[in-house]
Amino acid sequence: MSAVPDVTLNNGVRIPQLGFGTFQIPPEQTREATLAALETGYRHIDTAQMYGNEKEVGQAVRDSGLDRADVFVTSKLDNGAHAYDDALRAFDGTMDALDLDHLDLFLIHWPLPGRGDFTETWKAMEEIYRSGRAKAVGVSNFQPPHLRRLLEGAQVVPAVNQIEVHPYLTQDAVRSFGAEHEIATEAWSPIAQGKVLGDPVIAEHLA
């Protein structure tokens, strides 16, 4: 695997442009899958509280023999932990599960305004960031109305908005809003769960 370029976030933290996602990998398979990804050359590993495999991701990072500074680890807040105190406790749980000295990026997984006020959740994220235990904080699956509301009272601008982006879902408005406010867009499902690989136009350019 050739060297993967970095992207510099709005707080100066550098994130590898290509990451290995652990969504839908059963916990009992996560350590080996993550180790294989790291051996292949991936240096960004993405997990989440709701995936149930943070512990195994942490094991793989520790067992890889790589310097911790050379592996970028992302996790995300569970949907049931949006209250301020709940978010702080949930982050403690993530750090206990990963058993790493810091997290590189922590995200609010979904805005879910029906479950609580995500601006209060963001205050907890800012506190986590100020503690130094997360090098950067951001959001996931936020649309421009969510971001505008969050930014009205934010002291820290989200470093990242992780959204579904691929050739069949370009999310132009979300990406433009992010660029305007120095919020990096990170794509999940960038090949549409493999569908783009069968697209004749894309296949022609891969040939």
Between 207 and 164, the more confident residue is 164
Tell whether 95 is covered by a domain: yes
The catalytically annotated residue of 51, 84, 129, 168 is 51
Model confidence pLDDT, tens digit, residues 51-76: 999 999 999 999 999 999 999 999 99
Residue 109 phi, psi (nearest 5): -65, -45
Tell whether 199 is covered by a domain: yes
Model confidence pLDDT, tens digit, residues 72-125: 999 999 999 999 999 999 999 999 999 999 999 999 999 987 777 899 999 999
DSSP 180-197: HTT-EEEEESTTGGGGGG
Q: Is the dihedral of CA 28, 31, 32, 33 positive or negative?
A: positive
Tell whether 50 is covered by a domain: yes
Q: What is the pLDDT of residue 2?
A: 62
Tell whether 1 is covered by a domain: no
Number of domains observed in the structure of the chain? 1
Q: What does the mean pLDDT of the chain come to?
A: 93
Return d(Cα 81, Cα 103) in angstroms, integer: 18
Tell whether 146 is covered by a domain: yes
Q: Which domain holds residue 116?
A: 6-206
* Catalytic residue check, 51: yes
DSSP 4: P
Q: Check which CATH number belongs to the domain holding 165 and give it.
A: 3.20.20.100
Tell me if residue 184 falls in helix, strand or coil: strand
